[in-house]
Amino acid sequence: MWSLETLGRVQLSRTFFMRDFLYSEIGNFHQIQNIPNNPDLAIERGRPLCETLLEPMQDTFGRLAVRSGYRSADLNGFGNANKLNCAANDNPLECHIWDHPKFSVAGASIVVPWFAERYAKGRDWRDLAWWIHDHLPYSDLWFFPKLCAFNIAWRPALARTISSYIAPKGKLLAAGAEPGETLQQRQERYADFPPFKGIQTP
């Protein structure tokens, strides 16, 4: 039997704990508990998200800011019904319900402060998108205008899709498609990024 205190102390990776992903403004304001129905499954799926995606980014760019991590089905369903920027629970692209009985996925909305500072001065969001594509085993990326925050999702079978609400809006990379830019063009975009600190797996 999990207690909330014990659940929060579960270490998902070297620097990330389950507690880092349980905070929700929606839950706090509307007094809806954000607790997994299946904590073991949420932990099982949250670990590769943290180990293979978030840790290498944090090692490279410095501290990451988690805007939204895990959401319970009840909380996410409430957010969707009340138009609070939550996808429907049965939407295959919904990545925050880590213990979803149908979809094997774990995702989070992330801000990279190092890049957000440069984005505020006009940096192209695609520079970061292509860096992630060329260095990390992500499944789905969705970029948002505020702070260049983005959803990043882990799945056992990687879709490798990139979409954005920032201009140019829409699909930058569809599942199974080749990038529209060469590797050299992509590398030129992020040539001034800090040296990658992680295992390059794609």
- Written as tens digits, the pLDDT of the chain (202 aa) is 468 788 899 999 999 999 999 999 888 889 999 999 999 999 999 999 999 999 999 999 999 999 999 999 999 999 999 998 889 989 888 999 999 999 999 999 999 999 999 999 999 999 999 999 999 999 999 999 999 999 999 999 999 999 999 999 999 999 999 999 999 999 999 999 999 987 644 4
What is the spatial order of strands in the sheet that 170-173 belongs to? 65-68, 106-111, 150-154, 140-143, 161-164, 170-173
Domain ranges of the chain: 4-189
Which CA distances in Å does 183 have to 9, 86, 130, 190?
41, 34, 9, 11
Distance of CA 48 to the CA centre of its chain: 12
